[in-house]
Amino acid sequence: MGTALITGATSGIGLELAWQLATAGHRIVLVARDEERLETTASHLHAVTGSEVEVLAADLALVKGRKAVIERIEQEEHPVGLLVNNAGFGLGQQVVGGSMRREEQAIDVMIRAVLMLSKAAAEAMVPRGRGAILNVSSIAAQTAMGSYSAHKSWVRSFSEALASELAGSGVTVTALCPGLVRTGFHDAAGIDTSVWPAVGWIDVEKVAAEALRAVRRGQVLCTPSLRYKALTAALRVAPRALVRAVAGAERYARSV
């Protein structure tokens, strides 16, 4: 069984992916900032699944954090066969009047780190002729809610481009585009979830299971649940003015 390195693996979608991968027998490398939460998660995962679990405390908003993760990706002992770029956060602010530092951190974690880690992983995997990269985008990529929509749109577009560049190399790239999932995400961003309909929520277990199925199949785009597959199809053909009116800055402003 190969090694899976997961960023943002101590909570929500990343944690569930870690559980499902460890249960399937993979060695896991957990990446996040909070060392105590990393250690607790690692010992729990190891005790229950028996899988080997490494921890790597790194802040992906910082140069030294990204460098530490890249060094682990380049390591030849227990090579990383699956990279999951999952770490991310909601900005919880509008562009106008919001903190520029937070905007820059969002770019560092959700764009710069995704680019740098994917590049390092692909360069290590291609000579081996196998490997997979799973990048967590969002349904928000197709909407117009804050700069977060633009970041997640970048992740989806970059993943498609890299998948196409790597076609035939044995290395696959998958962009996961989930809808609303109950995790630590909304509380951390101070987002009022009451503005979203109850029917919009999907289970984190389902999201992770569908994502890993897509990775196994080498599928490039993965939108978990029929509801969100239908919404994605509708968003693709809807006039953008309608998308902006229904899922645009005005609705976002009511949530933050």
Ligand X SMILES: NC(=O)c1ccc[n+]([C@@H]2O[C@H](COP(=O)([O-])OP(=O)(O)OC[C@H]3O[C@@H](n4cnc5c(N)ncnc54)[C@H](OP(=O)(O)O)[C@@H]3O)[C@@H](O)[C@H]2O)c1
Residues with catalytic annotation?
A: 148
Rg value, the chain, Cα: 18
Closest approach of ligand X to the CB of residue 67, in Å: 13
DSSP 10-23: TSHHHHHHHHHHHH
- What is the x/- site pattern for ligand X, positions 113-152, by CB under 6 A? -----------------------x-x--------------
**Per CB under 6 A, which region of 158-166, 175-183, 208-216, 237-245 contacts ligand X?**
175-183
Rule CB under 6 A: say whether 13 interacts with ligand X: yes
Closest approach of ligand X to the CB of residue 185, in Å: 3
Contacts 24+ apart (CB under 8 A), 98-104: 103/147
Closest approach of ligand X to the CB of residue 93, in Å: 15
How far lies 191's CA from each of 93, 95, 185, in Å? 9, 15, 9
What residues from 26 to 45 belong to the interface with ligand X (CB under 6 A)? 32-34, 37
Contact 180, 224 (CB under 8 A): no
**Per CB under 6 A, which region of 86-94, 117-125, 166-174, 214-222 contacts ligand X?**
86-94
**Per CB under 6 A, which region of 94-102, 119-127, 181-189, 227-235 contacts ligand X?**
181-189
Q: Compare residues 120 and 136 and give the one whose CB is closer to ligand X.
A: 136
36 contact partners, CB below 8 Å, separation of at least 6: none
- How long a stretch of residues is the chain? 256
Among 154, 185, 228, 252, binds ligand X (CB under 6 A): 185
Beta bridge partners of 54: 29
Among 19, 53, 59, 166, binds ligand X (CB under 6 A): 59
Among 3, 4, 5, 10, binds ligand X (CB under 6 A): 10
Closest approach of ligand X to the CB of residue 7, in Å: 6
User: Which structure tokens are listed for 102?
Assistant: 């937070």
Rule CB under 6 A: say whether 63 interacts with ligand X: no
3-state secondary structure 111-159: HHHHHHHHHHHHHHHHHHCCEEEEEECCHHHHCCCHHHHHHHHHHHHHH
Which of 77, 60, 61, 78 lies closest to 69, judged by CA? 60
**Per CB under 6 A, which region of 70-78, 84-92, 208-216, 248-256 contacts ligand X?**
84-92
The whole-angstrom separation of Cα 192 and Cα 42 is 31
Closest approach of ligand X to the CB of residue 190, in Å: 12
Q: Compare residues 147 and 169 and give the one whose CB is closer to ligand X.
A: 147
How far lies 111's CA from each of 44, 137, 210, 233, in Å? 30, 10, 23, 25
Q: Using CB under 6 A as the criterion, which residues of the chain lie in contact with ligand X when the complex forms?
A: 7-14, 32-34, 37, 59-61, 86-89, 109, 136, 138, 178, 180-181, 183-185, 188
